[in-house]
Amino acid sequence: MIIATLVGIAFVVLGLSAQLGVWRSWTRRLSPGSVLAWWYLGVAVVAAVLFGVTADSVVPLALACLAVAVLGGALFVGLLMFGVPRFLLPRWYRASRGLS
């Protein structure tokens, strides 16, 4: 559980730093779908860990965590398969690529 939580948090931090423009070097070598989707993967992993922790004790919270994990995983797979829609790209990325 601890390793999964740390992996999930790492993906959340990397995805948010890419989305907020703190980490911009990825734009030279990776596609936006592969990096911006990390945030959704991290949310899915953290929610799955929370589901595992709360499944026995608090049923509504566990089901909410499961729903977030499934939705986050589906968004991750969808973004990798179909690419990132323009409205989900960060403003700084659209401006640097002339997509606005």
- Give 11-67 pLDDT, tens digit per residue: 899 888 988 889 888 777 767 667 778 888 888 888 888 888 888 888 888 888 889
pLDDT for 70: 92
Whole-angstrom distance, CA of residue 53 vs CA of residue 39 = 21
CA atoms within a 13 Å half-sphere pointing along the CA-CB vector of 56: 2
Q: Per-residue pLDDT tens for 52-79?
A: 888 888 888 888 888 999 998 898 888 8
Q: Write down the pLDDT at residue 76.
A: 86
Helices 38-54, 2-20: crossing angle, 10 deg rounding? 150
Domain ranges of the chain: 2-97
More confident residue, 49 or 1: 49
